[in-house]
Structure 1
């Protein structure tokens, strides 16, 4: 992954061999800076939280590899649910060493970094939906990413403990999780055909909109009444 500053890429590459022994820790960060020959003060100016920032960069590099592969694989004949499964599989196959993810999971399970971990998983789900052409701009934008985040998170945990040849057990687990989501979506669609429920839905969630680029603000979403047409 190409970061804004190539030194971050160098630090990340140098850190990976140390993670298996020291985790995403300050010791790893200092060792990476030493290996690259970068002054530690410069390294900290680029990564203020040290190895935490490198762990985030590692996750985003996996997302980038997945997106790149989705752009080269021919998924035309697949059902949409199978495209989703393929994307999650590509994301996991972008990882060469499970220990890097295992150590990252331990890091982001800490209370002070839990929000970062949740944001990363959400970002992975968002990258998948965007690459597969999701055009929703209402509450479905959120529910799609929330359900896929849950699927991805549970699949990663299963994959970390999977020792079957070719991770066949993981892909079967993934298919079952996606089938559960599909059944929920069918139930939701059936319920929304009910006039009363449809009106209740519109009254409570009908005005929710997906995030949009808004100058000087960083908000998770917006109400329909907040959207102003640009001239």
Structure 2
């Protein structure tokens, strides 16, 4: 029997898989798009589950572009207290943040929303691709209409997509390892929050305290 959290995980992964997929011109099992690799899935899921690390990437985007909309997005994460309210810890495994998504993926497969593609070696790591069916996109649209509170998953996946910028899973993992707190986490242990450090970085760019917080 699946736990309630497995269905929450399935909802989050559904938006990740649909948002991060690419259209396929040569379907093998009726899919309309494909999401390439478990490494990419875990990298995306990490940014979905660690709002402080995502905000850190937004600061990097600002530093590289001077686009203040990135600072506004990062500030909203702190205003909404997401590093506390929405953080879902992940374990550091051999190739970075990792979680077996078997239960959540099984829900999506059983519902006919996704399929599991062939396994292949990518940089000597066995990777699985995910076949995305039209029903998955249709369900995402109906979820947003019927359950507005779940729009967060759609909007957050869209932000992660902007941060990922089409990069491969291995490239995203390398990027995440650049954070020393992430890289120093012992194998099998939870990757720690970097909330306080990111807050300081953000306030230094804003030249003021984050809205709604004490000076």
What TM-score results when the alignment is normalised by the length of structure 1? 0.26
Return the structure number with greater relative CO, CA threshold 8 A, min gap 6: 2
**Larger % of strand: which?**
2
Larger Rg, first or second structure (1 or 2): 1
**Larger % of helix: which?**
1
